[in-house]
Amino acid sequence: MIDQQVSLRGGAARLPVRPRTGRFLVLAAVFVCAACGLVYELELVALASYLIGDSVTQASVVLSVMVFAMGIGSLLAKRLRCHAAVGFGLIEAALALIGGSSALVLYASFAWLGESRYALVGFSLAIGVLIGAEIPLLMTLIQRVDRQDAGGAVADLFAADYVGALVGGLAFPFLLLPMLGQLTGALLTGAVNAAAGGALVLWVFRRDLTSRSRRLLVVVNVSVIAVLATATVLVDDFEQAARRAVYGDQVRVAVQTGVQEVVLTGTDRDSLGLYLDGRLRVSARDEHRYHEALVHPAMDGPRARVLILGGGDGLAAREVLRYGDVRSVTVVEIDPAVTRLARTDPALSGLNDHAYRDPRLTAIGADAFTWLRADHQRYDVVISDLPDPGVTASTKLYSAEFYGLIAEALAPRGRLVVHAGPPVVRPHTFWTVEASVRAGGLATRPYRIPGRPSGFTASPDRLSSGERPPEDWGFLLAAAGPVGEPGLAAGAPALRSLGEAEIREGARAADRLRLPGQVPSTLIHPRYWEEA
């Protein structure tokens, strides 16, 4: 107790190393712990965006709650300054366990409970409190090892903290996520965190610890690392069980690409389901109806050159290639893994009639917005087969600026068709897309097609954001000049589940649903959000 009182007044601790070395080791621990802390934050944001959707909202929730909790943690740490060494060691062990296991628990709550929002807020609070408690204790420790003015100590601590945050922030997207994935990356980060905090206290400050405190820290840190190591060994089995809970028992392919998670379910082309980041994109039981409604009304006119934005599954291309007078089809898909599966997976390639074998088709792996800015060719038909605009990553691909780029890429009599979301379920989103297309310089004609039960294997409450089977599909046909009523071209191939009368009735039905007064969405002012 006397030693602690002396050290709090500025006296140096009894160290097994020289003060300058001890100071360096404390700053090294600050660097490592800061890197781990930022990895926890980014991992929560990334996983929440995948599981819940709307990355802007999830990032705001995680960061604001975490910063608030850090303030609480700093206040609570005042009570531990008299026991700074053992307090810091226990806090780092707790942070390693909670932060390292957070991704695992979030995914489990999503898979088996269908809800991960409460777990997200809870982990943000807990991790924030523990991170906030670090700096006051580290401030006490660094002044114990090397007597210096408070301003210099604060400057050193924050410099190491910020540099560590930079390294952690870069390591997450460029190293941990692509090489290890979210679950293993978080577990490994937790183990590094526990090892760094435990090593600093048990070596540099071991003379300040009672034998009981040393035993406690050894047992706690070894237990935390053992738990994280065991979870790492079992993570593959956990992922398989969680995927079965989310997607059913027929998961055939599950790939985490640099863009998204891609999952294929079903044993053949008749039962196939394609999920991208937990959202059902293709169901073999009704995809013909969707793709026929998307493609064929736009093919009524010149169609020698066709551009498909998105649609890496090859299903829109399948419908386009049914026209013999089409000379070239360009598919721009951001995720090469999707086009690779569309080429090689027996069920998916069978469903798209082996469209990628057709010499008229060219696949390009690129972001559609960036690619359009650099491309100077003209197209008779542009087909926008992209995820719903309510998904934040797709918002710029439903902006007025994006449609302005498409307008420049259209030939004089060219047409654009846009999948704009369901006008009945999400009317604000649908009519905001329509306003954005018009703001891009094109005239529009909306139409809707009622959907059929998707029959996908996952129950609706297992899908992210509470997503349900589509009740209807909404489309926009657009051109530089007036747009007539959507229909089918003369000599169009026979359709499997759609007729011209239904398309025309869909246009009249969409007009009856019109929601006036919507403002275009732009890059600076996006106006899409998830509707109930």
Name the burial class of residue 461, with classes exposed (0-12), middle (13-18) and buried (19+) by CB atoms within 10 angstroms of its CB: exposed
* Strand, coil or helix: 41: helix
| Residue given tokens 């160290």 in the structure block | 15
R_g (Cα) of the chain, nearest Å? 28
Q: What is the helix (H) or strand (E) element at residue 460, kind and residue range? A: none
Non-local CB neighbours of 32 within 8 Å, separated by 6+ positions: 164, 192, 193, 196
SS (H, E, C) 396-442: HHHCHHHHHHHHHHEEEEEEEEEECCCCCCCHHHHHHHHHHHHHCCC
* Cβ-based burial of 25 (10 A; exposed 0-12, middle 13-18, buried ≥19): buried
**Residues 310 and 333 sit within 8 Å (Cβ to Cβ):** yes
249 part of the active site: no
Closest by CA position to 53, among listed 341, 279, 252, 211: 279
Cα end-to-end distance, the chain, whole Å: 60
Of 261, 461, 237, 269, nearest to 346 by C-alpha is 269
CA–CA distance from 266 to each of 50, 91, 173 (Å)? 22, 46, 31
Q: Given CA atoms 13, 14, 15, 19 in this order, what sign does their dihedral have?
A: positive
Which three-class secondary structure state does DSSP give residue 258?
coil
∠ CA 32-36-37, rounded to 5°: 115
C-alpha dist (Å) from residue 369 to 184, 261, 337: 33, 21, 19
Strands 410-419 vs 443-450: parallel, antiparallel or unpaired: unpaired
Q: What is the DSSP string of 292-313?
A: HHHHGGGGSS--SEEEEEE-TT
List 330's β-bridge partners, or say none: 307, 362
**Residue 374 phi, psi (nearest 5):** -95, -20
Phi, psi of 44 (to 5 degrees): -65, -45
The Cα–Cα gap between 94 and 89 comes to: 9
Q: Which residues pair with 256 in a beta bridge?
A: 261
Which segments of 172-210 does DSSP mark as H helices, in order? 177-199
Paired with 67 in beta bridges are none
- The residue from 277, 335, 345, 385 that is catalytic is 385
| DSSP β-ladder status, 261-265 and 273-276 | antiparallel
Going 426 to 430 to 432 to 433, the CA torsion angle's sign is positive
* Residues designated catalytic: 385
